[in-house]
Structure 1
Amino acid sequence: MASSTLSLQRPSGSYIGPSEVRELIAKACPVEQYRGKKVLLLVPDATRTCPLGMFFKGLFDQIGGVTTAFGVMIALGTHPPMSDEAIRRRLEISHEESATRYRSVRFFNHAWDNPEELRPIGRITAAEIEALSDGLFSMDVAVTVNRRLFDYDQVIIVGPVFPHEVVGFSGGNKYLFPGVSGPEVLNFFHWLGAVVTNPMIIGNKYTPVRKVVDRAASMLTVPKLCFCLVVEDGQLAGVFAGSPEDAWDQASDLSKARHIRYKENPYDTVLSCAPSMYEDLWVAGKCMYKLEPVVANGGEVIIYAPHIREISYTHGRLIRQIGYHCRDYFRKQWDKYKALPWGVLAHSTHVRGIGSYDNGVERDRIQVTLATGIPKEVCAEINLGYRDPATIDPADYANREDDGVLMVPKAGETLYHLRQRPAWAREM
């Protein structure tokens, strides 16, 4: 479709409105190019902040009347499926609108763990993996995607770009892998990111994981158009429309400018407050990932989320089995753990953070404490600290940076970095 990237950007404090978005959509999606076509939107679930309804409605109004099929798939990765009501809330439409104006639209949840819903599209060879991973791995990786993509003539990806612990910056082809992919490539590149480690990945653009994601996406032959959004305080600061690679390239530059805050000195205590859109620790782990770089050696991150009562709705049983540990805990006992899903092992290491494992003793750089609805005994079982959330008043942690205390009221999307790279990072 569009051969070059179209963009809108605003300076801090000024944002893009619906009428401007519709003008951009009209340029990126000329009506005649979509007449008689089947179009599938790939969009994130509710764990990513963005004005998704603005784009769903704008795209439907632009091309929905001339397409022969218009669908929306929630690019869940391994997140739980969304209910019909949750999908309507995500798209900012009412039950009445879904039954009238949008009655022709079909809605799907991706099912990563249902082989019948997946279709193989190729393999990344061991030689390619070795080159893409900078020599860290050499193995064939199977690539599968949701089979429904092939029922459509055009895929349109709509989603935000933020610093990300596994891939560097989210967005672009990440809405395909892991968004609508099968488990093999998903598990591989999550563990690749864990081996490189969160502090070395997050906020960097062309990471080994991004290279694997883009290589997998190159195997998908269905035409793709991508709207990459940069969101600040819930408002649209930038939008880039083009190929997933080019739109993401430009959006990640803006994300780097808008979503990274630099601090002069590390903090002994960080209270990282999880927003309500994070319903389990699997996604609320972002409150650790984005703050780990500014925690002092021996310091503590407290994930404050009284509303969270589950470790993971999808992977909770397995996480309780293995617990949360640093990377080398698994690498130095690899025969014991290598048969488990690598994506779950990766999550474990990302939440626990940098550490070492020698002679049967694990030493972690920082303490990670949960002040959630997860009971104290479960926190001990999974190797994390516990605080009763009722004993914490976030206001007690605010405005105390000179004391080595940082409070982040809505954690998980803004990355915090030290202006000078700390010694522990230079030694990695």
Structure 2
Amino acid sequence: MKKTFEIPWGRSTLPWQTSLSLVHPSADPDKSPARSPSAALDEPLGSPPLEELAEGARRVAVVLPDATRAWQEIPLMVEAVAKRLRRARCGKIEWILGLGQHRPSTEEEMAHIVGPFAGPDDAVFCHDASATDDLGRRTSRGTVLSVQPEVADADLVVFVGGICYHDLAGFSGGRKALLPGVSARTSIQANHRLGMTDRGFNPCVASGVLEGNPVHEDMAEYLDLFLQGRRAFLLNVVPDGKGRPYDYVAGDPVRAWRKGVERAVELQTLWTERECDAAVVSSGGYPYDIDLYQATKALASVYGALCPRGGIVLVADLEEGMGTDVFDRTMRLALVDFEGAMEALRHDFTIPAYIAVKIAWELSTRPAALVTSAGDRVAFPGLVTDDMEAALAHATRGVAPGATLFVPSGNTVLVRKRQAPQQSR
């Protein structure tokens, strides 16, 4: 008997009828109630309240995520932060969209993110990775501390963002608002280059890995250097296993983020009792699947629950196609000349190129298909189609019939196979 599922796909859903034996991984029950941004601000971790920190601050820089992070429901946090800052009667507030190396946000996107909460004297603008201030310090791994001038010169910096599993930094949020958020392009690339070794890709650079992950450790040291002698505060959202805002943490940028990571593990780790032969994973719809560059984060969520050569179907609408030109060019090169793409990456490292080559490498040993409406606008290491049945047939070729993992919100979760308890002798 066939069942019908509505898979998140762009700004809508994709109906899928199937008689497959599906495995639905689930999170352990969470006994803590959902919280609001204001509730978290009322109980800051390791820090005075935001309004107390803001007293006497002539310039406040609030670093915000861009439109590719709309899942964080940023206006809710902006409203909560704005109310506290107004209460403190601080000076000029500058709302800065931390782009890292993403495309500039449009006026419409900026207006949506900040909403009506920016005052008439506030400034709202995008970070520029080519116009930063070198603060004369560097991490032990050599990453130069160079940030947006308005952030460097602020009397108080407020970092706003969200915490979920991240395929490069282990977890997003926290220190990522600074690096890559509002840092120099050269600093961003130096940090992300740590994802590679002389032999290829560093296995410690993976979702959920912090200890021994050089990308995270360099980011954390970079933040520590920046915070010395500065007033700073953090407000981060922690989504649940379906990508919906659920909890918030606020306070000291390091301590509050660490608590948020603990909550992310509790809320976003999905468990399965068995290793699966194939996986159907959606990025979670818009904005997670705004382009292939963002959507491929969902792939890392299922690797740990698949058999070594298990196939993957990625469901992503890709409203903006491939994403960046560099990601597009590198992916197309990697599909016809992987060694050439790897060599080019070593000589001219960029983050989009790194992601493209890594995805091509990860999918080289397993059948994969992409279900999208983007058609020939995209290049992918496998079949590109708008038909779920064709995608499944491709992804399961040569694989014995078995259990199929189904993950409708792959960009914010990590699926793990639960280990059987060891029996005592």
Superposition TM-score, scaled by structure 1 size = 0.76
Q: Tell me the residue number matched to 1:418.
A: 417
Report matched runs for 1:383-398 at 5 Å.
384-392=381-389
Shift of 1:395: 12
Q: Does 1:42 align with 2:50?
A: no
State the secondary structure of the residue aligned to 1:218: helix
Determine if contact 1:171/1:248 at 8 Å carries over to the other structure. yes
- Once the two structures are TM-superposed, the CA of residue 21 in structure 1 deviates from its matched residue by 4.3
C-alpha contact 2:40 2:250 (8 A) present in aligned 1: no
Higher RCO (CA-CA < 8 Å; seq separation 6+): 2
1:76 aligns with 2:99: yes
The Cα shift of 1:412 comes to 0.6
Q: What are the equivalent positions in structure 2 for 1:111-150 lying under 5 Å apart?
A: 111-112=128-129, 114=130, 117-124=131-138, 128-129=140-141, 140-150=142-152
Aligned residues of 2:312 and 2:367 also touching (Cα < 8 A): yes
Write the distance in 2 (CA, Å) between the matches of 1:305 and 1:205.
28
Give the aligned partner of residue 295 of structure 2.
284
Q: Which amino acid aligns with 2:121?
A: S
Q: CA deviation at 1:83?
A: 1.5
- Match 2:312 to one of 301, 305, 329: 301
The match for 2:124 is 107
Q: Is the 8 A contact 2:268 2:412 kept in 1?
A: yes
1:344–1:306 CA distance, 2 compared to 1 (3 A): closer
Q: Distance in 1 between matches of 2:173 and 2:104?
A: 20
CA distance in 2, matches of 1:369, 1:199: 26
- Is 1:249 the counterpart of 2:258 in the alignment? yes
Q: Percent identity?
A: 18
- What CA distance in whole angstroms lies between the structure 1 residues aligned with 2:183 and 2:64? 14
Matching residue of 2:367:
367
Instruction: Output the CA distance in 2 between the equivalents of 1:155 and 1:217.
Output: 12
1:393 positional shift: 9.7
Q: 1:229 aligns with which of 230, 237, 251?
A: 237
Change (3 A) 1:159 1:264: same
RMSD: 3.3
TM-score, normalised to structure 2, is 0.77
Q: Structure 1's 392 and 79: CA in aligned 2 closer, same or farther, altered over 3 A?
A: farther
Matched, 1:341 2:317: no
Higher alpha-carbon deviation: 34-43 or 159-168: 34-43
CA contact (8 A) 1:289 1:350 kept: no
Q: Deviations over 1:72-102 (max 9, x none)?
A: 11112111121222123234x3xxx36xx73
Q: Do the aligned residues in 2 keep the contact of 1:281 with 1:308 (CA within 8 Å)?
A: no
Give, in whole Å, the separation in 2 of the partners of 1:214 and 1:21: 23
Query: Residues 251 and 200 of structure 1: is their aligned pair in 2 closer, same or farther, counting only changes over 3 Å?
Result: same
SS of equivalent to 2:66: coil
Output the CA distance in 1 between the equivalents of 2:112 and 2:391: 29
Displacement of 1:212 after TM fit?
A: 0.4
Change (3 A) 1:308 1:51: closer
The equivalent position to 1:205 in structure 2, one of 210, 217, 223, is: 210
**Secondary structure of the structure 2 residue equivalent to 1:67:** coil
Large movers: runs of 4+ above 6 Å:
393-396
Distance 1:241 1:32 in 2: 13
Q: Which residue in 1 is equivalent to 2:272?
A: 263
Q: Which runs of 5+ in 1 are unaligned?
A: 1-9, 130-139, 356-363, 397-401, 422-428
CA distance in 2, matches of 1:149, 1:368: 43
Structure 1 stretch displaced more, 229-238 or 64-73 = 229-238
CA distance in 2, matches of 1:36, 1:122: 24
Aligned to 1:424: none
User: How far 1:320 sits from its partner (Å)?
Assistant: 4.5
Of 108, 112, 131, the match for 1:89: 112
SS of equivalent to 2:72: coil
Paired residue for 2:359?
A: 351
Give the Å deviation of 1:340. 1.6
The alignment covers a number of residue pairs equal to 372
Amino acid at match of 1:371: V
Distance 1:110 1:30 in 2: 25
Return 5+ residue gaps in structure 2 as ranges.
1-28, 394-400, 421-425
Give the letter for the 1:240 counterpart: V
Give 1:252 shift. Answer: 0.7
